[in-house]
Amino acid sequence: MKFTVLGSGAGLPSKDRNTQSFVIDCVLEYNEYILIDAGEALQHRILHTHIKPSKIKNIFITHLHGDHIFGLPGFLSSRAFQGGEGIPLTIYGPAGLREWLDLTFKISESTLNYPLEIIEVEADMTIRLNDFTVRVLPLSHGIDSFAYIFKENDKIGELLTDKLLALGLKPGPVYGKIKASETFTVEGKEYQTADFIGETIYGRKIAVHGDTRLNSKEDYLNQLFNADLIVHEATFLKDEKEKAHDYFHSEINQVLNMFSELNYKQLLFVHISSRYTDEDIREVSAALNDKAAIAFDYFELPIPRNVQ
């Protein structure tokens, strides 16, 4: 599994940063990509990757500002001609998303050749998707904006086959039966299956935010605890805390301070304003801790499974 940034910029695109779009690559696990937000020119960005539109089967929209959705109608139409025929697609997003897409397709006389389901989300909603539980968290942004927390189910550890072989049990269907049971018996002696199972494989957690002011509420921070990846906006990079608050956005140092006591593996900053130069970004990046980074377009981050 890996996280790919197709667009890392804020409201106005620049020559180097497209507006916001991300992909969670689950092809090896579930044979699909999960798209989060659909900035303008999304379909053009995908052309520079190995991503197949037909394998994007679920889309999550954080909020309905144009820099997060203007690429959606074009992508949906293109998918119909890029192997997507007959392959269902589900879009999750705030109220109003269905009306906007229905009107867009009606006026443009566009049709799709695959089933499209639009599910309008609400705060604290829970969505089941593959082996993920997706939690919808409300944010503060003037219009409805959400964070999506993708939590993969934990998996039982692998059988310790060397220990089973030592008991005289050769590989075969019996191994599956043992793994599915609490106890098993060999030559009249009972054994606890847990003693023959390796360490639990803990599910990965990825938290992707829409645009937002800071949220320091304890229940919100608890949802992010132990995240493998937190993706958070940093529209402002230069200590403009008051301006960030006034515009319903976040400033990078405030975010770092808010998460300073939070246990996570990687913090990725996105939604970077086009007014910052490369030199500005290099200067800010140099001061970040080793768990934080400012994203760029086509940035990729592998997210391995956790064994503890």
Q: Are strands 306-307 and 300-302 parallel, antiparallel or unpaired?
A: unpaired
Q: Is 65 annotated as a binding residue?
A: yes
> Encoding tokens for residue 302?
């592998």
C-alpha 224/C-alpha 232 separation (Å) is 11
Is 271 within any annotated ligand binding site? yes
Distance from C-alpha of 198 to C-alpha of 218, rounded to nearest angstrom: 34
> In whole angstroms, what is the distance from residue 210 CA to residue 235 CA?
11
User: Is residue 195 a known part of a binding site?
Assistant: no
Q: Which residues pair with 306 in a beta bridge?
A: 202
Which of 67, 144, 228, 297 is flagged as catalytic? Answer: 67
Please confirm, yes or no, whether 67 is among the known catalytic residues. Answer: yes
Name the residue among 6, 16, 66 with its Cα closest to residue 36. Answer: 6
Is 239 annotated in a binding site? The answer is: no
CB atoms within 10 A of CB 144: 19
The verdict on whether residue 211 carries a ligand-binding annotation is yes
Q: What is the C-alpha to C-alpha distance for residues 51 and 23, in angstroms, rounded to an integer?
A: 9
Q: Which two tokens stand for residue 55?
A: 């394998």
232 assigned binding-site residue = no
Q: What is the edge-to-edge ordering of all strands in the sheet holding 126-129?
A: 126-129, 132-138, 146-152, 205-209, 229-233, 267-270, 292-294
Q: Which residues are documented as binding site for Zn(2+)?
A: 63, 65, 67-68, 141, 211, 271
Q: Which residues are documented as binding site?
A: 63, 65, 67-68, 141, 211, 271
What are the residue numbers of the active site? Answer: 67
